[in-house]
Structure 1
Amino acid sequence: MQAADWYAAHGKMPRLYVPATFEVGGTLTLPEGPARHLTRVLRMGEGAPLVLFDGNGQEAGARLSDVSRKCTTITLEALWPGEGESPFAVHLGQAVSKGDRMDYAIQKAVELGVAAITPLYTERGDVRLKGEREAKKLAHWQAVAASACEQCGRAVVPPVHPPQPLDEWLSQRDEPLRLMLHLATGNAFAQAPKPVAAALLIGPEGGLTPDDITAAQAADFIPLTLGPRVLRTETAPVVALTLLQHHFGDL
């Protein structure tokens, strides 16, 4: 069975990251967090379908087989290889930032297909993590990456490496293309002939309805996709506007 067949048979359902070995007919006991979310928040009972992914590219169609206060067990019914991975492997070196900005950067980078992330200590950066505090923050960032994979449809959870000084990260790079963003540089992307204006329509969470799409097409809107991963509604304009500005604007 393929993913499309499982979704066609069962419709929209929760998708969870469970780092385990998947076998058809096998059973798994869900960790406390996912189990509580399914049974207490979503109020799912025995027999309810869901999708799991192992973080290494494997997905599984499953059902809740036993729900109790002590544990929640699922039975795996189908396996298929995950989709949604970018053929272009980008390793993101991201300077550590304060507050939830680092969470946002990791979340959006995962949604956009990044292959790996390394938090960096830079000269102007004023965040320095050590010891237990660094370990806790790293575990939190990896959980943010896993959660983003649950939402966007990726079956591979990209690693968030331990923070390191910028010079160490630079010395390890062997990618054939290496880029940095630097506002003061005079280098810019080449611009092609461009229209002078555009209208951009982006739907809400859950997408546009068939009536919305029909109305937009009647107004000469062209339907486009941003790729195989499902972007959040606040991410889609970031990506779409970046692409438009790159091709036709001033990026």
Structure 2
Amino acid sequence: MAERRRLLIEPARLRDAQALGRLGLTAAEARYLKRVLRLRPGAEVHVVDGCGQLFGTRLTPEGELSLDRGADARLQTLAAPQPRLGLAVALMRRGMDEVMRMACELGVDHLQPLQAQRSVPQAECRPDRWGVILREAVEQCERLWAPELLPVLSSDDWWNGPSGQSLRLIAVTRDQASTDLSTLLAAHGAGAGCCWIAIGPEGGWTSDELRSAAEAGWCGVGLGDTILRSSTAAVAAATALCSWRRAVQRT
């Protein structure tokens, strides 16, 4: 199968390009197409707007992308996946970059970095870098809907953030009363507009955070019989959520 070359372009910029029939490239985009992918004039490049639309373009001798005007340029239109999936993850010392990339590749729709009470001062907090990682991941994994990266919030400000109609889950450890995440999801239908899961820092949630989450309606869930690193827990949770959604969509 031929390699699919993709660029993620903001919707407003793409609308302007459609009106003109051509899309000017930034220096970084031109360098990626010409030096990294080594494309020549006439090569096909797929452009995604991050909002469910895929467009066909071709690289011109002038170093732009040509595309048809109007709807003729669209190759595919995809409705937003339902239910929406959200991953709230506490800042950690190492692994946030990988969590962002893998959550995007798996299909998570919303990413909420959290400043938890036990997040260490050395924890990674690089929103600009995460934005670049998510852009590259969208292009690589062939998603049509780009995930939303939300501003960093403290855990205290987060528990009442998601809609009360959302399914809100918080990963806990050493809690015999908690239900396994996969078991809870299997018993839950697709009624929730969004399903959120919150992953704590390396030192775990504090008792105050767990109490605040419970008072706000968050349900504690387990991720298995072993204690996972925060980055491992985030990826495991994202995998379970995305597998559940696929199963729900098939029913």
Q: TM-score range by the shorter chain?
A: 0.5 to 0.7
Identify the residue that residue 105 of structure 2 maps to in structure 1: 111
Q: Which residue of 2 aligns with 1:231?
A: none
Q: Hey, which of these two has a bigger chunk of helix by percent? A: 2
Matched, 1:56 2:51: yes
Q: 1:178 aligns with which of 149, 168, 180?
A: 168
- Of the three residues 77, 80, 88, the one matched with 2:75 is 80
After the TM superposition, which residues 37-48 of structure 1 pair with which residues of structure 2 at under 5 Å, given as runs?
A: 37-48=32-43
Amino acid at match of 1:97: M
Map 1:212-251 onto structure 2 (within 5 A): 239=239
| 1:163-184 per-position Cα deviation (integer Å, ceiling 9, x unaligned) | 1100111121214311111111
Q: Which of 26, 31, 41 is matched with 2:26 structurally?
A: 31
- Partners in 2 of 1:145 and 1:127 — Cα distance? 24
The answer (yes or no) to whether the contact 1:17–1:53 under 8 Å persists in 2 is yes
Unpaired runs of 5+ in structure 2? 187-234, 244-251
TM-score, scaled relative to structure 2: 0.63
Give the distance between the partners of 1:154 and 1:84, measured in 2 at CA: 12
Give the superposition deviation at 1:104: 0.8
- The amino acid across from 1:183 in the alignment is T
CA contact (8 A) 1:96 1:127 kept: no
1:227 maps to: none
Corresponding residue SS for 2:66? strand
**Which among 168, 171, 196 is matched to residue 157 of structure 2?**
168
Identity of aligned residues (%): 28
Task: Provide TM-score, normalisation by structure 1.
Answer: 0.63
Q: Which structure is higher in RCO with an 8 Å CA cutoff and minimum separation 6?
A: 2
AA in 2 matched with 1:162? P
In structure 1, what is the Cα distance between the partners aligned to 2:58 and 2:30?
Answer: 12
1:21 and 2:14 equivalent? yes
More strand by share: 2
Whole-Å separation in 2 of the counterparts to 1:24 and 1:57: 19
Counterpart-to-counterpart distance in 1, 2:111 and 2:239: 19
- TM-aligned CA deviation for residue 84 of structure 1: 8.3
Match of 1:146 in 2: 135
Unaligned runs of 5+ in 1: 1-7, 193-234, 244-251
1:75/1:146 CA distance change after superposition, 3 Å: same
Give the count of matched residue pairs: 182
Supply the RMSD in Å over aligned alpha carbons. Answer: 3.2
| Superposed counterparts of 1:90-105, under 5 Å | 90-99=85-94, 101-105=95-99
> What amino acid maps onto 1:158 in structure 2?
P
